[in-house]
A and B are shown apart, each in its own frame.
Chain A
Amino acid sequence: MDRKGKGFTLLFLSPWLVGFLGFMLLPLLMALYWSFTNFDVLQAPQWVGLQNYVAIMHDATFWTAVRNTLYITVIGVPAGIIVGLGTAMLLEKPITGMGFYRAAIYLPAIVPPVAIAIIWLWILNPDYGLLNAILSVAHIKPLGWLADPYLAKISMLMMVVWGGTGQIMIIMLAGLKDVPMELYEAAMIDGAGWWKKFSRITLPMLGPVIFYNVVVGVIFYLQFFTQAFVVTANNLGAPVNSTLFYALYLYQNAFQFLKMGYAAAMAWILFIVIVTITLALFWINRKVVFYGGGQS
């Protein structure tokens, strides 16, 4: 590329570059600095070394938040993929009204998360709620859902999985279309049943798509915030801190307790954890996932 070409490249890249440097990299580095300080946003930060990190390790509430976050990640990621893949497989076959079903299932993906949370507050209402009304047909006693420390996390997961299925389904559908028909035909001739075809052809061929969803899902759940924030707006993490997720506790420290240094340290710990997990996933990906066209 000649000099002029380089100039143009930079010019056209500049909106992103300026945004990245100014609004991503700089805050990231500032947060790293603040994480070693006692900082309350309003007064100048004071250097305290590793004090915030040490305090975090001894903070029981922090570990509660970590446990809650791991819980929804470990359940939420596979649940989202199973439901998304399941619906994609159901909607892959040409049936009448397929366009409608696909649109209907995708619809929640374009509803803002805050609206989803509000709708689900009503669905999960112990008294007037739709879910308990359906369960009462089966003579199941009304459940507390968001009022119950054991069910609250499950309730959050239902909200998120419901909202995220459409997105995953679309990607899975595209992946399913890419599986060569010859493979299924060959398998059929060899007498393979539904399960054999699914486990030996569909799943391996979808490997890269599933891997993508795992990475995106893990990152999403580790930073999970919006729905939990809306649902427990008056007392974050209720009931009994059962929905106090990592990002929620981070927010609480930053803006309610004015411990911005502490929150910055939490943010950096989360950042390092996410990078590590993502790298680990990529490593597993190289060992396990099959790429039809060869791996670039």
Chain B
Amino acid sequence: MRRMIALGSAVVLMMSLAACGSSQNTASGSSKVIRLTMWQQWGGGHEQAALNKIIAEYEKIHPNVHITEIPVTNDAKILTAISGGTPPDIIDLGTSLELGQWASKGALMPLSSLAQRSHLNTGLYVPAGLKAVTYQGKLYGLPFMNFDAGLLYNKQLFLAAGLNPNNPPITTQQLQADAYKLTKVAANGSITQMGFLPQYPGQSNGQVTTLEDLGWVFGGHWYQNGHVTANNPNNVKALEWEASFYQKYGAQNVANFLHSAGAYLTSNDLFESGKLAMVYDGPWALDYAEANVPSLANNIGVAPFPAPASQPNLLGTTFIDTNPQVIPTGAAHPNAAFQFIKWETTNALVTSTFAALVYNLPQLKNVPNFSLANDPRFKVFMQEANSANAHVWPQLPVSTEYGIKLDEGQDAVLYGKTSAIQALNQLQTTMSAALKASN
């Protein structure tokens, strides 16, 4: 999920966007004004302002198109509009989590033929982002602003614990050992500082749940060759590793610590408040820290997320997702809508300015003059995005249910209610049946 803030770069965006369209030809023959509605999940604030700049620029080169954007973040509302036959022309979904499920029910328009007709070169996009908008081989959206995650660590806390701040862990074993050194427990058993807390920030940063990623980190997978693979032995290992943090300090103590967190990406969240030394999070966290806690911002190190010592090739494993720009079934002007999302997602200048503004990854392979491209910390996320270790949550008719049940199973194990193998075996049974029933 895109979590960003603009830090005065709005002006830069405004100026640079003015240059975007100037080279494009005004290929709009008809004089009739087409009114498009776009529902977007960026919310208000700077992201909305930036989006409006993009829209204004598009309208300038396409005078017969008028686009109105409205922040709509409620899935139920979107579904109601689609089923009621009055959807907007474009939806920015914010995450691809529901894309497969919605596509399977016919809620989204397949874009393959539109793409072909308007000669869209999908080779321009970073493959992982493209994968996130593809369901059963068909394109159901265009990627915009990709996001992934890596290991962010607080160098001050590393120093205080006697660890080398320039030597972040590269194996999961080292990560755990470092994490234990970085954890402080009060006399009454309550935790005051943790080295690493697997569940934090969890879904808040766009993951399905932490276990999704840890499964991949340990070499597992969740869906393969048409089958649910929830109880893959490596997924079990990942869940056991995750649970070991809870067993060491007492599940309830860890849960209490987790629940003491203030809102994510504020100075009260666990990482920004200096109560958590290492976190699995995305590049936008750097931007927010800069705004909220400047003293911390320069002391955040970024590294690829560690891998098990036995599988060093899995270093830098991450989930990757995008903000799918989709056209819902029943949209009034699908052609005009497609022209806009094609322009929006393939224009390098729009991409580089918006990505720099919200600290997300460009969905395009080639983005000249991207101001963050040379930032050594940001680069870690860019490199991860293009590696074989960047994974997309499977796009299935039951994707959402799978994610929610995975989270429930993980919860039950972390709280010590059941074992990893039992929970994942049960998930395997439930989701295999659900997938079968949905076909």
Question: Which B residues touch A241, using CB under 8 A?
Answer: 408, 411
Cα(A126)–Cα(B257), bound, Å: 7
Contact in complex: B107, A147 (CB < 8 Å): no
B391 to chain A minimum Cβ distance, whole angstroms, is 21
Contact in complex: A127, B260 (CB < 8 Å): yes
Closest 3 CB pairs of A and B: A127-B260, A147-B259, A126-B256
Sample (25) of A-B pairs whose CB atoms are under 8 Å apart = A41-B83, A42-B329, A126-B260, A127-B256, A127-B257, A128-B262, A141-B189, A144-B256, A146-B259, A147-B252, A147-B258, A234-B203, A235-B209, A235-B407, A235-B411, A239-B415, A240-B408, A240-B411, A240-B417, A241-B408, A252-B404, A255-B75, A256-B401, A257-B400, A258-B79
Give me the interface of B with A, judged by CB distance under 8 Å. Answer: 75-76, 79-80, 82-83, 101-102, 105-107, 188-190, 202-204, 209, 252, 255-260, 262, 329, 398, 400-401, 404, 407-408, 411-412, 415, 417
Q: Type the 1/0 row for A230-245, where 1 means its CB is closer than 8 Å to any CB of B.
A: 0000111111110000
Cβ-defined partner of B255 (8 Å) among A43, A125, A239? A239
Contact in complex: A142, B188 (CB < 8 Å): yes
Q: Does A92 contact B (CB under 8 A)?
A: no
Question: Which A residues touch B407, using CB under 8 A?
Answer: 235
Question: Which A residues touch B329, using CB under 8 A?
Answer: 42
Question: Which A residues touch B101, using CB under 8 A?
Answer: 258
Contact in complex: A126, B259 (CB < 8 Å): yes
The prevalent SS among residues of B at the interface is: helix
Q: Does A207 contact B (CB under 8 A)?
A: no
Cα(A41)–Cα(B87), bound, Å: 14
Cα(A41)–Cα(B204), bound, Å: 27
Question: Which B residues touch A255, using CB under 8 A?
Answer: 75-76, 79
Contact in complex: B106, A256 (CB < 8 Å): no
Q: Does A204 contact B (CB under 8 A)?
A: no
Cα(A128)–Cα(B407), bound, Å: 27
Q: Does A113 contact B (CB under 8 A)?
A: no
B210 to chain A minimum Cβ distance, whole angstroms, is 11
Contact in complex: A144, B259 (CB < 8 Å): yes
Contact in complex: A148, B256 (CB < 8 Å): yes
Q: Which of A13-55 contact B (CB under 8 A)?
A: 40-43
Q: Which of A144-189 contact B (CB under 8 A)?
A: 144-149
Residue in B closest to A257 when the chains form the complex, CB atoms: B401
Cα(A43)–Cα(B417), bound, Å: 38
Question: Which A residues touch B412, using CB under 8 A?
Answer: 240
Cα(A146)–Cα(B259), bound, Å: 8
Total contacts A-B at CB 8 Å: 87
Contact in complex: A125, B203 (CB < 8 Å): no
Cα(A40)–Cα(B101), bound, Å: 10
B185 to chain A minimum Cβ distance, whole angstroms, is 12
Cα(A193)–Cα(B231), bound, Å: 67
A125-B259, A146-B259 in contact; A141/B105 too (CB < 8 A)?
A: no
A41 to chain B minimum Cβ distance, whole angstroms, is 5
Question: Which B residues touch A126, using CB under 8 A?
Answer: 190, 256-257, 259-260
Question: Which B residues touch A239, using CB under 8 A?
Answer: 255, 411, 415
Residue in A closest to B403 when the chains form the complex, CB atoms: A256
Question: Which B residues touch A144, using CB under 8 A?
Answer: 252, 255-256, 259
Cα(A252)–Cα(B408), bound, Å: 13
Given contacts A146-B259, A252-B404, 5 further A-B contacts (CB under 8 A): A41-B79, A42-B106, A147-B255, A240-B415, A258-B400
Question: Which B residues touch A128, using CB under 8 A?
Answer: 260, 262
Contact in complex: B252, A258 (CB < 8 Å): no
B439 to chain A minimum Cβ distance, whole angstroms, is 13
Question: Which B residues touch A43, using CB under 8 A?
Answer: 105-106
Cα(A258)–Cα(B190), bound, Å: 41
Q: Type the 1/0 row for A128-147, where 1 means its CB is closer than 8 Å to any CB of B.
A: 10000000000001111111
Cα(A41)–Cα(B209), bound, Å: 26
Contact in complex: B106, A148 (CB < 8 Å): no
Most buried by A among B188, B202, B204, B408: B408
Contact in complex: A141, B190 (CB < 8 Å): yes
B211 to chain A minimum Cβ distance, whole angstroms, is 12
Question: Which B residues touch A143, using CB under 8 A?
Answer: 256
Residue in B closest to A241 when the chains form the complex, CB atoms: B408
A209 to chain B minimum Cβ distance, whole angstroms, is 38
Cα(A141)–Cα(B186), bound, Å: 11
A108 to chain B minimum Cβ distance, whole angstroms, is 23
B429 to chain A minimum Cβ distance, whole angstroms, is 11
Contact in complex: A125, B260 (CB < 8 Å): yes
B12 to chain A minimum Cβ distance, whole angstroms, is 33
Question: Which A residues touch B400, using CB under 8 A?
Answer: 256-258
B281 to chain A minimum Cβ distance, whole angstroms, is 15
Cα(A141)–Cα(B188), bound, Å: 7
Contact in complex: A142, B415 (CB < 8 Å): no
Cα(A255)–Cα(B75), bound, Å: 8
Cα(A60)–Cα(B140), bound, Å: 35
Contact in complex: A42, B411 (CB < 8 Å): no
